[in-house]
Amino acid sequence: MRSFPSAAGRRTTAPVALLLTLLTALVCAVAAYAGPLAHADEKDDLEKQKDQVQSQIEQAQHDAEEASKAVDAAEKALAQAESDLVTAQGRLGTAQDAAAAATAQLTQAEALDAQMQASLVAAQAALTQAKAELAAGQDALTAQQAKVKQTVVDIYQQGSPQLMAITGYLSAQTPADLTRKLEYADNVIHDQGTLFAQLHEAEVALSAKKDAVKAAEVTAAGQADEAAQHLVTVQELKADADAAAAAAYAAQEQVTVTVAAREKAQRKAERARKADLAELEALKKQEERIKQRIIAAAAADTSTGYVGADDGFLLPPVTGPVTSPFGYRIHPIYGYWGLHDGTDFGVSCGEGMRAAADGKVIERYYSAVYGNRLYVSVGKVNGHALTVVYNHATSYTVDVGDSVKRGQVVGYVGSTGWSTGCHLHFTVLQDGTAVDPMGYL
């Protein structure tokens, strides 16, 4: 039978992968040690050690199956939840970094946008001022033109200043009168020159104001274009920042959901483990009752039975490789120091299982742990009551009370109970206690 008694100092939660790594390292160390200079007996000893370690590796691989499918599924779900949580946390960190970077870029862009808007306002104000000055210049030029026009009209009405000077010279009665008339003519001529000079200055000033307006228009238009283009950049950065913030929020939500999923998986795994342990406890009680029946039947049997060599007494129940041997080990799921109470043979489902010896079927039932089970008593062997047990079968061809002959097909290999693949778990009970089947095969 398979039992998992608690053992102080023996409990462990190390995964099978770690055990496989350690055992593989030991295999490599053994192989490396067996150098060409070693003696033949040392080589043989090292080969035996290597084979033993390889057997332990296969045993460890098989141990992973020694739990119900519910536990197996729960363990896988828990491992996936743990992996998902790590992934989600990594994505959250990345998303938060992206959101922070996007927000920083947006802040810088908004600050630059504010500067550009201020420059645009200043350029527009300068343009308004230039236009106002141009309008004032235009008004001044118009007034100056009107004044010159009026002067020209007056000149034509009064005569040429030069002619007036000559007329005054001819009509002067005294030198003083001549001087006065010449001075008047000079003043008129000077005033005309001043008016024309002022008109020219107004035209030059107006032209400069027009140039200033054009320059202000170009500056304002450039500032407006730059501001408009930068506004697009700001809007894009804001969209990026919003998207990054949304991604960070979604990542945070995913972490929250994944944490909840992990906790749920943990609870489910614990429930499955408890259910498995309850099944194991019920199985041990049932096996104990069968053991007591075997012991009682042996005590009542006064026959001598078989006396002779144990090796080869039993016929191998199937033709297939040993995938996990009999022996004690740390249970990979529950951490107990327990007994793998039989030898596992790797055989395809549906293969026939043979009776290992002549005997009688004493028990047949379904176990959540071992699936379909069959107990066959093969009588006394060297004074001990010997019983063989077939486990995980798809079905059996015999029932309780039936007699079987050595080599007879008693059932078919399956994967019922705590099994993840087709195989035969073959147990040998000596006086109701599990022993290594290989000692009888």
Please indicate, yes or no, whether residues 193 and 114 belong to a single structural domain of this protein: yes
* Token pair 């002022």: residue: 198
Can you say how many angstroms the Cα of residue 73 is from the centroid of all Cα atoms in its chain?
Answer: 21
Residues 6+ apart with CB under 8 A from 339: 1, 2, 3, 4, 327, 328, 434
CA dihedral 286, 288, 289, 292 (to 10 degrees): 160
CA angle 393, 397, 398 (to 5 degrees): 105
Please indicate, yes or no, whether residues 414 and 317 belong to a single structural domain of this protein: yes
Contact 96, 192 (CB under 8 A): no
Supply the angle between the helices 175-300 and 69-158 in degrees, to the nearest 10.
Answer: 170
Please indicate, yes or no, whether residues 99 and 216 belong to a single structural domain of this protein: yes
Please indicate, yes or no, whether residues 364 and 256 belong to a single structural domain of this protein: no
Element of type H or E holding 116? helix 69-158
pLDDT of residue 436: 97
Please indicate, yes or no, whether residues 245 and 361 belong to a single structural domain of this protein: no
Q: Is residue 12 part of a domain?
A: no
pLDDT of residue 60: 41
Please give the Cα distance from 212 to 134 (Å, whole number): 9
- Paired tokens of 6: 């608690």
H helices present in 159-174, as ranges: 161-171
DSSP string, 321-341: -EEE-SEEEE-TTT--EEEE-
Q: Is residue 19 part of a domain?
A: no
pLDDT of residue 186: 63
CATH of the domain at 96: 1.10.287.620
Element of type H or E holding 354? strand 352-354
Q: Is residue 235 part of a domain?
A: yes
Q: Is residue 106 part of a domain?
A: yes
Please indicate, yes or no, whether residues 109 and 223 belong to a single structural domain of this protein: yes
List for the chain the helix, strand, coil content (%; round to 5).
60, 15, 25
User: Phi and psi at residue 340, in whole multiples of 5°?
Assistant: -85, 100
Contact 345, 321 (CB under 8 A): yes
Please give the Cα distance from 342 to 340 (Å, whole number): 6
Please indicate, yes or no, whether residues 315 and 389 belong to a single structural domain of this protein: yes
pLDDT of residue 63: 43
Q: Is residue 190 part of a domain?
A: yes
Q: Is residue 51 part of a domain?
A: no
Please give the Cα distance from 9 to 336 (Å, whole number): 10
pLDDT of residue 402: 97
User: What are the angstrom distances between the C-alpha of 408 and each of 319, 359, 364, 398?
Assistant: 14, 11, 17, 10
Please indicate, yes or no, whether residues 136 and 222 belong to a single structural domain of this protein: yes
Q: Is residue 430 part of a domain?
A: yes
R_g of the chain, CA atoms, integer Å: 55
Give mean pLDDT in consecutive 10-residue pieces for the chain, a chain of 441 residues: 37 40 43 44 56 46 55 76 81 84 85 84 84 82 77 66 60 68 63 73 80 84 85 86 86 84 82 81 88 90 92 96 89 71 95 97 94 96 96 97 98 92 96 96 96
pLDDT of residue 197: 79
By residue range, what is the domain housing residue 136? 86-260
Please indicate, yes or no, whether residues 210 and 128 belong to a single structural domain of this protein: yes
Contact 241, 99 (CB under 8 A): yes
172-220 pLDDT, tens digit each: 667 776 676 666 666 666 666 787 777 778 778 778 878 888 888 888 8
Please give the Cα distance from 371 to 350 (Å, whole number): 15
Residue 389 CB: number of other CB atoms within 10 A?
A: 22
CATH of the domain at 367: 2.70.70.10
User: Phi and psi at residue 54, in whole multiples of 5°?
Assistant: -60, -40
pLDDT of residue 106: 83
Please give the Cα distance from 247 to 137 (Å, whole number): 61
Please indicate, yes or no, whether residues 309 and 255 belong to a single structural domain of this protein: no
Q: Is residue 36 part of a domain?
A: no
Please indicate, yes or no, whether residues 253 and 327 belong to a single structural domain of this protein: no
Number of structural domains the chain divides into: 2
Please indicate, yes or no, whether residues 155 and 98 belong to a single structural domain of this protein: yes
